[in-house]
Amino acid sequence: MEVVITESPRAAAATAASVVRGALRADPSLVLGVATGSSPLLMYQDLAVSVERNEISFSQARAFLLDEYVGLEADHPERYGVFIERSFTRHVDFGRSAVFGPDGSSDDLADACRQYESMIASAGGIGLQILGIGVDGHIGFNEPMSSLSSRTRLKTLTMATRVANARFFSDNVDAVPRHVVTQGIGTILDAGHLLLIATGGNKAEAIARAVEGPLTSMVPASALQLHPRVTIVVDESAAEHLSYADYYRETFNSKPTWQTL
Ligand code: F6R
């Protein structure tokens, strides 16, 4: 695991975007796992600028969403399929039908989850997975107590997550769906490289528990400790509770020139 501490949310976005650019240059047909929520937004903007400048292209790449709310109507602005189109994929050059998400409005959600796993497998698996982290330590929508080997399935959101996400629903927590479908922790751990972005002091506790705490299903993001290739990009505020922050800074600043993120 590599922890990169940056001076601001914008610098975190720039660092994370450089990881995506590197992965895309190495493999133009990259299968990218995409997160919604606020954390990756600046990074998505940075990537859109890179596409506009012809520095990179997503034309051969595919994207798979991490999760989706259950029960929101097809054109609901906070449906994650709609959110990712609005905040990222429409601004870059993915081909037609290259962006996929789990079907949160299926009559048979269990089957929709199985199908989503098959779609990811048929694409050859996710090469680079972008992640945020919840204040309760969730990744995807794998809330505390999620099995560390779980696959895509239905989950119930904690009240902490519904309260945190109420800002997307006119601050009305009752409008935040209770249920979601999410890639499991096992699904996430199958990706080749995990890139987690967290900014702001409200994420500091979750980051410290995920990076330096014990491996436990009570902090789903601690499962990243099991993965051989994880990059965690945080700003100073989200790094506040990391007891080895100086070591992470020193490691990053003394990286050999041949070693990329
Ligand atoms: C979103 C997702 C969630 C978010 C997390 C943080 O697709 O899977 O795990 O990454 O809830 O959300 P923000 O970034 O809005 O703080």
Task: Give per-residue pLDDT as tens, 24-48.
Answer: 999 999 999 999 999 999 999 999 9
User: Does 242 have pLDDT greater than 90?
Assistant: yes
Mark whether 240 is an active-site residue.
Answer: no
The crossing angle, in degrees rounded to 10, of helices 9-26 and 41-52 is 50
User: Does 259 have pLDDT greater than 90?
Assistant: no
Other Cβ atoms closer than 10 A to 254: 7
Task: Give per-residue pLDDT as tens, 117-129.
Answer: 999 999 999 999 9
Task: Give per-residue pLDDT as tens, 159-210.
Answer: 999 999 999 999 999 999 999 999 999 999 999 999 999 999 999 999 999 9
Query: Which is catalytic among the residues 46, 67, 68, 235?
Result: 67
Q: Which of 188, 220, 182 is nearest to 70 (CA)?
A: 182
pTM, two decimals, is 0.97
Mark whether 73 is an active-site residue.
Answer: no
Task: Give per-residue pLDDT as tens, 243-255.
Answer: 999 999 999 999 9
Q: What is the CA radius of gyration of the chain?
A: 17
Q: Is 217 in the pocket of ligand 1 (CB under 6 A)?
A: no
Task: Give per-residue pLDDT as tens, 53-94.
Answer: 999 999 999 999 999 999 999 999 999 999 999 999 999 999
Q: What's the pLDDT at 29?
A: 98
For residue 133, the SS3 value is coil
- Residues 57 and 29: their CA atoms lie apart, in Å, by 10
Q: Is 136 in the pocket of ligand 1 (CB under 6 A)?
A: no
